Amino acid sequence: MALVGRAGPALYRSEEDGAGIRQAPELAPIADYTGMGPEALEISRDAFKARLKPFRGEIKGILTRGDFVADIGNAYADEVLWAARLHPYRKKTSLTPEEVDRLYDGMRASLLEAIETVQVEMGKDIHLKPQRWKQIERAMLSVAG
């Protein structure tokens, strides 16, 4: 079984000789993973604006690009845009500075709310109940959508 860390080397569990966890020899980085943008909840407002600048196209498409920011898929992009009161097909170049601020605020608020909801529903045992997490996420998104 292989394990890949975002910033570290690939590791694997050696089942053949019972030696435990070993570092994999010189694996090429996974292209999509190494090109990921910063975590959505860790990026500052100024860094968000700077990263947004070179992108063109519809704002929803930009939000879902992993090289812009990590963690935002299609469903969460809808939540972010709803919170920011922005139409998903708006062109990035048409956004005012105030709308970009709302986009940043909407991103943070939506993701923090989702995390809080899952934590309340699942408690401290979230890692033991992966199927329950999926059910909660589906329910949250169906109510909001």
Distance (Å, whole) CA 55 – CA 46: 15
Domain 38-144, classified CATH 1.10.8.50, yes or no: yes
The 8-class DSSP code of residue 25 comes to: S
Q: What's this model's pTM, rounded to 2 decimal places?
A: 0.67
How far apart, in whole angstroms, are the C-alpha atoms of residue 145 and residue 125?
A: 27
Report the SS3 class of residue 10. strand
What is 55-115 written as a DSSP string?
A: --SBHHHHHT-TTT-BS--HHHHHHHHHHHT--TT-BGGG--HHHHHHHHHHHHHHHHHHH
Domain ranges in the chain?
A: 1-34, 38-144
> What digits encode the pLDDT tens for the residues 48-66?
999 999 999 999 999 999 8
User: Is 74 within 8 Å of 64 (Cβ atoms)?
Assistant: yes
Q: Which tens digit of pLDDT belongs to each residue from 13-59? A: 555 555 555 555 555 555 556 678 999 999 999 999 999 999 999 99
For residues 81-94, give the mean pLDDT. 96
